[in-house]
Amino acid sequence: MRIVVTGARGRLGSVLVEKLKARALDVSDFDIDTLDVTDFAATQRQIAALKPDLVIHPAGWTDVDGCARDPEQAVLVNGFGSQNVALAAAAAGAAIVYVSTNEVFAGSASRPYREYDPAHPVNAYGYSKWVGEQAVMRLNPRHYVVRTAWLFAHGGKNFIQSILNAATAGKPLRVVVNEIANPTYNDDLADAISALIDTQRFGIYHLVNEGVCSRYQLARYVLDQTGFAETPIEPISAAEWSRPSMPPVYSPLDNLAGKSIGIRLRPWQQAVDTFLQREQLLTHEP
């Protein structure tokens, strides 16, 4: 199988490339320096030249607050950029994997969202990713739309590292108690996508680590596992945390489709422990 990966220098893209190459698959990778997905002609030309069987498209603008400040740019990159990739993949006769987000949902449900629940994004980032989903599903019937949530990865900025940096610096911690989703380990997601592409079972998938928690519960777990059990956290509501983009408050995903074909990610606590262990931060044995 010949595979093209966009966003190959990103946190998910780089791990995908590493894992797929370890399987001895033929992988070509692009990043923003070599593939501008907002340029339709260039995207089509560069993907066509590689004659892929599959295009994996994790590239996108993931700065949620940045998307809120410039929603048109968010749609240009995440929406129309994904449309360009979907058209190029279809023209090359390739299937496509599009990586999306739990933020396509409104956050008003009373249970975790399932794959075919109606989307209703409430912020610019979620809307731009939903536009990308629509383009991919309408333009390429051989598609996998993979939604994930609260991704944390080695290298780069994420919620876990922000909490630990603040605790190490002795800064007061205020964390939201009513924003709820699934913490998901970047490496586990890459493994799940690698398994998914072998199935030829196209459709929508929610690939997240098992279990749900609040931002507060995740922060408390991380601190307890890293020697900061005595560090207090002030619980606050989402409305008290001022930011340009308001995320959906309750947006956990239910991995029904993945489980039905044997793809299940481990509980989020185990994934966090592995992340912390690899970062040499784990002080409390799991």
pLDDT of 285 reads: 65
Residue 47's pLDDT is: 96
Decide the pairing of beta strands 203-206 and 95-101: unpaired
Task: Check whether 76 has a pLDDT greater than 80.
Answer: yes
User: Around 224, how many Cα atoms within 13 Å sit in the side-chain half-sphere?
Assistant: 10
Residue 185: pLDDT above 70?
yes
Domains of the chain plus CATH, in order, are 2-156+183-211+251-266 (3.40.50.720)
State the catalytic residues.
125
- Alpha carbon distance 136, 90 (integer Å): 10
pLDDT at 148: 98
Q: What is the mean pLDDT of residues 227-231?
A: 96
Q: Which residue has the tokens 């949902």?
A: 105
Distance, in Å, from the CA atom of 101 to the CA atom of 80, rounded to the nearest integer, reads 16
What average pLDDT score do residues 84-89 get?
Answer: 98
Residue 242: what pLDDT? 86
* Interaxial angle between packed helices 81-91 and 124-139, expressed in degrees from 0 to 180 and rounded to the nearest 10: 20
Q: Is the pLDDT of residue 30 over 90?
A: no
Q: What number is the average pLDDT over the span 14-42?
A: 92
